[in-house]
């Protein structure tokens, strides 16, 4: 089926190009034309009228834990160690059904807040991957590896991710499985090597937490005499493999050198880093060094919304305020971090409106609140919000209409979610 | 007319009280009952079913410039001096009609984003006060005084505010006019004294910008050997008069002492302070000193949304991240800053759900995204957003239904706004 979007104020991400009164032709899951001349339409072509609203690549949420929806507003305002203690107790009870409904609610939320794609890392993820498949979102999913409980645990988790890969990888052209190591502090050198080995074999990126807190880095220095990124580099793991490095709050200039010299994409999660008291990542410095920073929301336990509009806003203004420089992390740069950089790190042809690219598109409502449009990138980054999202298209399919996710049966999802939540928190304060 | 809200999860702001399955009875503009027993209803009683959603005092936006809606996405990513230069050129063209439509759009936006009340300060404000009156919002409006252009300018502006007061003060029990001095750096001692004199005579607070940037404070120190707050104190102006002190970014311990010893309510505008590169106000320190900090959005030129949900979220997590303390500026404290503290500073009986208080109430939708509610204050502060706002009641009248402002004709407002915007920006890049 073909779809034409008309009357678009298109931010193509072909540089800072802005096309007025643009048409976009989608055929199946792919963009086939973008420009100011009307493409040919036949009787089967569906027409979406953007009515002058902003049309842009949808957000790529580069780090999240979808099934953590159960932890929204749980253990608020606690320090990280106490927060983790409470979270771990409930996480132990997460089974496949609970993972499914937690992730399903989060997928609908992610899409209603502008994301076409999520990069998830969590526990045994059959439930998550099924939820992503059912919801219509584009997803990169991983069962992350830890081996702090010994070699048997390592083998089991690697096997779980392999099984995930065998069953779901490339499903519908939008679900992929990535190798993932949780973090240096939960993985032995052996575990890190095995995960990177798998990534090399499959030609996929590795998803890993890196330098989220000062404490993590101090402990790594004590253990190895190196920071987490230095350790990965010293082991030769960063060669030929892309690393998606979530957080990178406590990184220094040598870490940033490593990002520049290898295919390391740091993922900035400003709301979670602030909320958990981890600190403020040196994003301005990373951008100035030419590093391709991405943006993620982290999970609902530490944010507490899967909202890329809010995340992108905070990513921009936080650097301006912290560095006392209103002209840093400008709207266009942050917009690119939240779209094209993520697609590049994941290795798919998206985050851009051009012929041949994945049809992952959002249409914002042109309301009184969005006029006059002096700077459309600023409009999205500083004034964008879910309330202003009209339509989301993922892989050529409309998943959000008039701001509501239409590819998830929310009533049913909600019932399942509540049922699981009762079980998870039973007997816990 | 009477209104009953039923099935409320009520956050009363009587301390941390949370009432499940609560009823709230509104008679005219006032709350007459809140509790878990059903109040008597007659045939004329309107019933609003909250369906288990959170019901709470609506936000009090303590510092804004409503008519700046024209500047949304204008002059993005510029340093403060360059930003001001561009803004000033257009501000010179703002007449009463333009002020009216700019403010009208902003009033609808403010209410759709949870605010029942705005505290505005700007230029000659007949247009603003008419927009506030027409929109249904509760508003404190002021024509702020500057006299950097000499004594005649001072007299003119004082007269404009007096006229505003004579014509509109106490309109409909929800529009009030406050004396206002723009800031120390734009006002002589004479101007400051005159404004405080007027406030004393009327028994009203003064609205003023205080210590927004380091540069402002350095220049004040050079001029007077004192910070702006120290200057006001040394002149005896802070006695017996409430001061609503917008920004307070560059304040030190002696300033905080003054806040404690006099009725000074600092207004934190985190998004604007970050976006303009002004810095991060020491809110954690102020709260620990027992100061009643309030929250405001500032204008649409520097935010760029009049969204108290976003502002409240950022106010909380920014302090946690900047101070590396997840347990500071907890959800309840920030919620109180955004509601009860503002009403207290303005001197009206609001920001609380109790018999006798102003009926300024919001109802949030209980959707899948708001369950389970482990901590309702955290749910509002960390996961609240306009998309989840169902109903807003201001002074007893429903102004927002199903998330849409129903007391502003948005089509008409939009037409007027566009017409004025064209005139304002004509011939300007």
Closest-CA distance, B358 to chain A, in angstroms, reads: 28
A73 contacts B374? CB cut-off 8 A: yes
A271 to chain B, any CB pair closer than 8 A? The answer is: yes
Q: Select from A374, A34, A333, A264 the least CA-distant residue to B87.
A: A374
Cβ(B317)–Cβ(A271) under 8 Å?
yes
**How far is Cα A338 from Cα A342, in angstroms, rounded to an integer?**
7
Q: Rounded distance, CA B240 to CA B238, Å? A: 6
pLDDT digits (tens, 9 = 90+) for B365-402: 987 667 778 899 999 999 999 999 999 999 999 999 99
Residue in B72, B76, B270 closest to A331 by CB: B76
Contact criterion met (CB < 8 Å) for A271 and B324: no
Contact predicate A355/A330, CB 8 Å: no
pLDDT value for A368: 64
Please state the ipTM of this predicted complex: 0.97
DSSP notation for A261-303: HTTEEEEE-HHHHHHTT-----HHHHHHTT---EE----TTSS
Instruction: Closest CB to A417: pick one of B371, B383, B387.
Output: B371
Q: Which of A310, A326, A413 sits opposite B368 (nearest CB)?
A: A413
CA distance A423 to chain B (A): 12
d(CA A186, CA A169): 26
Torsions phi, psi for A361 (to 5 deg):
-135, 140
CA atoms in the 13 A half-sphere facing the CB of A79: 6
Looking up tokens 């404004």 gives B195
Does any CB of chain B come closer than 8 Å to the CB of residue A84? no
Tell me how far apart the alpha carbons of residues B33 and B55 are, in angstroms, rounded to a whole number.
14
pLDDT tens, residue order, chain A (429 aa): 899 999 999 999 999 999 999 999 999 999 999 999 999 988 889 999 999 999 999 999 999 999 999 999 899 899 888 898 999 999 999 999 999 999 999 999 999 999 999 999 999 999 999 999 999 999 999 999 999 999 999 999 999 999 999 999 999 999 999 999 999 999 999 999 999 999 999 999 999 999 999 999 999 999 999 999 999 999 999 999 999 999 999 999 999 999 999 999 999 999 999 999 999 999 999 999 999 999 999 999 999 999 999 999 999 999 999 999 999 999 999 999 999 999 999 999 999 999 999 999 999 998 766 777 889 999 999 999 999 999 999 999 999 999 999 999 999 999 999 999 999 999 987
Strands (E) across A138-272 are located at: 138-143, 175-177, 180-183, 206-210, 243-247, 264-268
CA distance B276 to chain A (A): 5
b/e sequence A284-323, b meaning 16+ C-beta within 10 Å? bbbbeeebbbbbbbbbbbbbbbbbbbbbbbbbbbbbbbbb
Query: In which residue ranges of chain B is pLDDT below 70?
Result: 368-369
Contacts of B108 in chain A (CB under 8 A): 368
> How far is A120 from A140, CA to CA, in rounded Å?
6
Token pair belonging to A61: 């949420």
Is A320 in the B-facing interface, judged by CB distances under 8 Å? yes
* Chain B residues close to A320, C-beta within 8 Å: 274-277
Interface test with B, best of A76, A89, A102, A389 (most B CBs within 10 A): A76
- Nearest chain B residue to A104 by CA: give it: B368
Q: A275 contacts in B (CB within 8 Å)?
A: 316-317, 320-321, 326, 382
- Note whether A250 and A213 are within 8 A (CB): yes
Please report the sign of the dihedral spanned by the C-alpha atoms of residue A25, residue A27, residue A29, residue A32: negative
Q: How far apart are CA A348 and CA A52, in angstroms?
A: 29
Got the DSSP string for B177-196?
E--EEEEGGG--HHHHHHHH
Which residues on adjacent β-strands are paired with residue B415? none
**DSSP E strands: which ranges in A104-171?**
115-122, 138-143
Contact A321 B108 (CB under 8 A): no
User: Which of B325, B368, B418 has the CB atom closest to A105's CB atom?
Assistant: B368
Q: Which residues contact B273 (CB under 8 A, 6 or more apart)?
A: A321, B212, B247, B249, B279, B280, B281
Cβ <8 Å between B76 and A330: yes
Which pTM was predicted? 0.98
Residue A332 per-residue DSSP state: H
Q: How many CA atoms lie within 13 A of A297 on its CB side?
A: 36
């Amino acid at each position: 089926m073909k779809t034409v979007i008309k009357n678009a104020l298109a931010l193509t991400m072909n540089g800072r190009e802005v096309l007025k009164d643009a048409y976009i032709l989608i055929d199946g899951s792919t963009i086939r034309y973008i420009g100011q001349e009307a493409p040919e339409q036949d009787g089967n072509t569906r027409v979406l009228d953007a009515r002058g609203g902003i049309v842009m690549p949808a957000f790529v949420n580069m780090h999240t834990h979808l099934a953590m929806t159960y932890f929204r507003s749980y253990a608020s305002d606690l320090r990280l160690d106490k927060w983790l203690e409470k979270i771990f107790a409930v996480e132990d009870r997460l089974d496949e059904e609970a993972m499914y409904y937690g992730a399903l609610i989060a997928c609908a939320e992610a899409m209603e807040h502008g994301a076409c794609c999520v990069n998830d890392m969590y526990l045994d993820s059959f439930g998550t991957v099924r939820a992503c498949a059912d919801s219509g979102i584009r997803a990169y999913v991983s069962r992350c590896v830890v081996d702090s409980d010994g070699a048997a645990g390592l083998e089991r988790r690697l096997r779980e991710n392999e099984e995930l890969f065998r069953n779901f990888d490339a499903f519908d052209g939008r679900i992929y499985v990535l190798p993932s190591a949780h973090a240096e502090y939960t993985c032995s050198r052996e575990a890190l090597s095995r995960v990177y080995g798998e990534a090399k074999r499959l030609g996929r990126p590795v998803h890993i937490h890196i330098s989220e807190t000062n404490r993590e880095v101090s402990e790594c220095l004590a253990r190895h005499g190196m920071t987490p990124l230095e350790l990965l580099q010293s082991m030769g793991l960063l060669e030929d493999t892309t690393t998606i490095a979530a957080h990178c709050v406590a990184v220094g200039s040598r870490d940033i050198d490593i990002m520049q010299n290898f295919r390391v994409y740091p993922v900035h999660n400003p709301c979670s880093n602030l909320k958990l008291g981890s600190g403020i990542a040196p994003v301005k410095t990373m951008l100035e060094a030419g590093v391709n920073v991405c943006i993620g929301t982290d999970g609902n336990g530490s944010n507490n919304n899967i909202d890329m509009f809010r995340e992108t806003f905070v990513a921009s203004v936080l650097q301006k305020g912290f560095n006392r420089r209103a002209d840093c992390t400008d709207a266009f740069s942050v917009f690119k971090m939240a779209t094209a950089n993520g697609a590049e790190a994941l290795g798919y042809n998206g985050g851009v409106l051009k012929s041949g690219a994945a049809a992952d598109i959002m249409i914002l409502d042109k309301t009184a609140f969005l006029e006059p449009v002096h700077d459309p990138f600023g409009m999205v980054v500083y004034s964008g919000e879910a309330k202003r999202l009209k339509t989301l298209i993922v892989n050529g399919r409309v998943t959000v209409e008039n701001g509501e996710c239409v590819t998830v049966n929310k009533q049913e999802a909600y019932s399942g979610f509540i049922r699981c939540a009762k079980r998870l928190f039973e007997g816990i304060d």
